[in-house]
């Protein structure tokens, strides 16, 4: 959604008479949505959070979702005040609630245009014969994009549309790629963001190796009449700031998996199943790419926790069952205070015989094969470094006492996160040998390989050849 500023009247649903104010909403992708209004109190005295505000503006009906009260200026002996709110999202086109259901969604994510490239530009050609002073020009020839059926019955397709601007002396043509989702069962906004938008942005991040993010969302509400078509709502969200330095990835050779090497119909459903299976671990792994300002300490611990959780979710458990009903186990349990025994039982059953971090890393490295060994040839020494650094951070909690410094720890954390990304791609069906070639396309990974060799020379017997 493009930035805008609009005046209107705003109220709490079903309380328009008692909680209403007039004011201005300002939206931009960088700062999100802000409401500055004057009138009766919109927030409750017991809470600074207003879930939904409806508005009637000069541009039509709007809804503000997730509004947080920031501050107010109030005059004595008056029930009116100037109020300031920051909001999670603005919905243009109608009045909705947090529980409103939608049947279709159109999603655009960053770097999708460079990755997909549907259709092609063609010269005007024969059309120029019938035009006076036609000049030089092109038109966009649309192409039918692929589509895939997910496990829940929803259909996701890849599409493109063109837009043009004509001036007195200039003309421009713009082509934008987008995902279109048709849900088998209607979804709420939160479900669409968590179950569809996040996996799609993460997928593009993985394939092009540049952080992606949701940049545009349009939702079509569920119609009470199946044959009735409703206009879509446009949703404005605070877009994650660019963390790729503004670099262009227009050249396919720089992407790990270009569009023509990705089996959309087969691998997209696999990716969604994968995302559902991993749950929060999926977000933890990709969060390392989206949070450049995270402290080195937290970045390393998050990377180690992510690979442990990834292994736990994707590898079969080899834990042996241990009973707490034996005499020895009961005697051991009775050494703890009675009010702590239930917690001890839960932790015991959860972690007893749990594989060590080293065992998990060993199996992940075996899965990654040549795709990881060209970056880290001595897996044994690398695993020892990873384990010792994690243990020192966990048990001591002070970076000054860790065996590797902050700069070295940052490089090590990136190598741990890369191992998880490689395993993602292996589980999508790419062979380790093929991935070795694909990973070498990425400038970031080539630099990481060089940094690893410069930082930990003991892991290498020879120089890495790029």
* 222 compared with 193, residue with greater pLDDT: 193
Gap between the Cα atoms of 333 and 324, Å rounded: 8
pLDDT for residue 185 is more than 70: yes
Share of the chain above pLDDT 90, in %: 31
The closest of 126, 148, 158, 130 to 139, measured between CA atoms, is 126
Range with the poorest average pLDDT among 324-328, 381-385, 406-410:
324-328
Mean pLDDT of 314-321: 68
Per-residue pLDDT, 251:
44
- Is the separation of the CB atoms in 67 and 35 below 8 Å? yes
Q: What is the pLDDT of residue 340?
A: 78
Domain-wise residue ranges, the chain: 4-92, 102-126+138-245, 279-318+355-459
Give 275 or 74, the one with higher predicted confidence.
Answer: 275
Secondary structure class of 72 (helix, strand, coil): strand
How far apart are alpha carbons 5 and 139 in whole angstroms?
A: 34
Per-residue confidence (pLDDT) for residue 248, from 0 to 100: 44
Task: Give the torsion sign (CA, 70, 2, 108, 258).
Answer: negative
pLDDT of residue 249: 42
The helix/strand/coil state of 66 is strand
The band of 367, judged by pLDDT with boundaries at 50, 70 and 90, is: very high
Q: Which residues on adjacent β-strands are paired with residue 171?
A: 166
Mean pLDDT of 43-58: 83
- Greatest CA separation for the chain: 98
| Interatomic CA distance for residues 129 and 120, integer angstroms | 22
Count of beta carbons in the 10 Å neighbourhood of residue 240: 17
Residue 72: its pLDDT value, please?
76
Q: Is the pTM of this model over 0.85?
A: no
Q: Which helix (H) or strand (E) holds 328?
A: helix 327-333
Q: Is the pLDDT of residue 129 over 70?
A: no
pLDDT at residue 170 tops 50: yes
Nearest to residue 391, comparing CAs of 283, 315, 300? 300
Residue 399 has pLDDT above 50, yes or no: no
* Segment 228-285, tens digit of pLDDT: 455 788 888 877 654 444 444 444 457 899 998 999 999 999 999 989 988 888 888 8
């Amino acid at each position: 959604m493009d930035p805008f500023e609009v005046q209107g009247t705003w109220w709490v649903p079903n309380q328009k008479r008692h909680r209403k104010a007039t004011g201005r909403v300002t939206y931009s992708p960088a700062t999100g949505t802000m409401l500055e209004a004057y009138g009766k109190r919109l927030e409750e005295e017991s809470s600074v959070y207003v879930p939904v505000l409806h508005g009637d503006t000069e541009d039509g009906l709007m809804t503000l979702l997730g509004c947080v009260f920031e501050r107010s200026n109030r005059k004595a002996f008056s029930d009116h005040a100037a109020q300031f709110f920051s909001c999670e999202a603005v919905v243009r086109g109608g009045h909705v609630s947090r529980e409103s259901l939608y049947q279709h969604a159109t999603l655009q994510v960053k770097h999708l245009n460079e990755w997909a490239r549907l259709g092609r530009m063609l010269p005007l050609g024969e059309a120029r014969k019938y035009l006076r002073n036609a000049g030089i020009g092109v038109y966009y020839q649309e192409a039918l994009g692929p589509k895939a059926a997910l496990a829940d019955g929803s259909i996701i397709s890849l599409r493109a549309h063109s837009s043009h601007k004509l001036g007195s002396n200039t003309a421009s043509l713009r082509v934008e790629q987008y995902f279109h989702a048709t849900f088998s069962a209607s979804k709420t906004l939160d479900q669409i963001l968590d179950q569809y938008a996040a996996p799609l942005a993460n997928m593009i991040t993985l394939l092009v190796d540049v952080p992606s993010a949701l940049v545009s969302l349009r939702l079509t509400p569920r119609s009470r009449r199946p044959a009735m078509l409703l206009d879509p709502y446009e949703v404005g969200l605070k877009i994650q700031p660019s963390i790729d330095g503004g670099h262009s990835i227009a050249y396919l050779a720089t992407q790990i998996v270009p569009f023509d090497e990705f089996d959309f119909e087969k691998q997209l459903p696999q990716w969604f199943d994968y995302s559902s299976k991993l749950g929060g671990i999926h977000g933890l792994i990709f969060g390392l790419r989206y949070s450049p300002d995270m402290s080195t300490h937290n970045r390393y611990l998050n990377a180690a926790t992510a690979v442990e959780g990834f292994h736990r979710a994707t590898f079969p458990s080899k834990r042996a069952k241990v009973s707490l009903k034996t005499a020895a186990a009961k005697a051991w349990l009775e050494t703890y205070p009675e009010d702590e025994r239930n917690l001890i039982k839960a932790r015991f059953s959860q972690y007893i015989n749990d594989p060590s971090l080293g065992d998990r890393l060993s199996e992940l490295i075996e899965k990654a094969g040549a795709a990881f060994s060209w970056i880290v040839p001595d897996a044994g020494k690398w695993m020892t470094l990873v384990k010792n650094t994690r243990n020192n951070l966990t048990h001591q909690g002070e970076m000054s006492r860790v065996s590797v410094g902050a700069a070295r720890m940052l490089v090590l954390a990136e190598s741990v996160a890369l191992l998880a990304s490689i395993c993602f791609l292996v589980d999508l069906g790419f062979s380790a040998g093929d991935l070795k070639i694909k990973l070498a396309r990425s400038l970031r990974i080539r630099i990481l390989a060089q940094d690893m060799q410069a930082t930990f020379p003991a892991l290498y017997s020879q120089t890495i050849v790029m």
